[in-house]
Amino acid sequence: MASRSDALPSSPAVVGVDACRSGWVAVILRGGVFAGAATAGGLSDLLAGMEDAAVVAVDMPLGLLERGNRRADQLAAEALGAHRSRVFPVPPRQVWEQPDYAAANACRRQLTGLGLPRQTWGLAAKLREANALRDGGGHRLHEVHPEVSFAQMRGGEPVAWSKKGWSGQAVRRRLLQEQGIVLPDDLGPAGRVPSDDVLDAAAAAWSAHRIALGTAVSLPTPPEKTDAGLDIAIWY
């Protein structure tokens, strides 16, 4: 079950979600300002009780191609310029369907000629979980990339400092505050989640608010589509 630092308001909200070591962490906004935070081991558990949320923005690839590279990843990397390594090219669907790293690595080599970093394969369980939720009808889920969102908050200039360090976290927290998203010092149980994951969830929530307002931009525009007709795009 999800544990919340604040009760959800009854009026519509938006939610930003990031994966973390313990599962998932969410930042909830109402009217563009902080309204709560939550954490849970499973994404469905995290979103239980958030049925009133108009948009859920997730920092996780949503939508996989059968072959080739996603245009969303290429454009996001271009947007980050010198920091393009913060975006990884998402392998085709077949790679994620493999039972283990060795099989996935071999599959990607066969399909693309490239190996699969172990760090990328480490996302497999959560990527499958998020995609299964959206494929099953969770169409309020949208893919975001926090670094693209933070860059947009700076007028298109990426944050130079790593999100793992003091300077990088201070800059990102200030950017959120300038957008009206003030994260309290006490987040309750969500405060045990690493700070960079909380900041990413807050940036995702900022993008979710823009999506709800109809002012967000997608990479690409219009989005690519999966074989099932679902969007493949990074929103900010």
Residue 130 is assigned to a structural domain of this protein? no
Residue 20 is assigned to a structural domain of this protein? yes
Q: Are residues 104 and 211 in the same domain?
A: no
Residue 197 is assigned to a structural domain of this protein? yes
Q: Are residues 176 and 145 in the same domain?
A: yes
Q: Name the domain count of the chain.
A: 2
Q: Are residues 117 and 227 in the same domain?
A: yes
pLDDT at 139: 87
Residue 158 is assigned to a structural domain of this protein? yes
Q: Are residues 51 and 79 in the same domain?
A: no
Residue 94 is assigned to a structural domain of this protein? yes
Q: Are residues 196 and 227 in the same domain?
A: no
Greatest distance between any 2 Cα atoms in the chain: 51
Q: Are residues 121 and 206 in the same domain?
A: no
pTM for this structure?
A: 0.93
Domain that holds residue 55: 3-62+135-219
pLDDT at 60: 98
Q: Are residues 33 and 91 in the same domain?
A: no
Q: Are residues 102 and 147 in the same domain?
A: no
pLDDT in tens, 72-81: 999 999 999 9
Strand partners, 57: 16, 142
pLDDT at 53: 96
Residue 78 is assigned to a structural domain of this protein? yes
Contacts 24+ apart (CB under 8 A), 164-167: 164/196
Residue 201 is assigned to a structural domain of this protein? yes
With a cut of 50, which residues of the chain have pLDDT below it?
1, 4-10
Q: Are residues 57 and 82 in the same domain?
A: no
pLDDT in tens, 123-181: 999 999 999 999 999 889 999 999 999 999 999 999 999 999 999 999 999 999 999 99
Residue 50 is assigned to a structural domain of this protein? yes
pLDDT at 7: 39
Q: Are residues 139 and 32 in the same domain?
A: yes
Q: Are residues 87 and 193 in the same domain?
A: no
CA-to-CA distance for 232 and 218, rounded, in angstroms?
Answer: 9
Q: Are residues 118 and 228 in the same domain?
A: yes
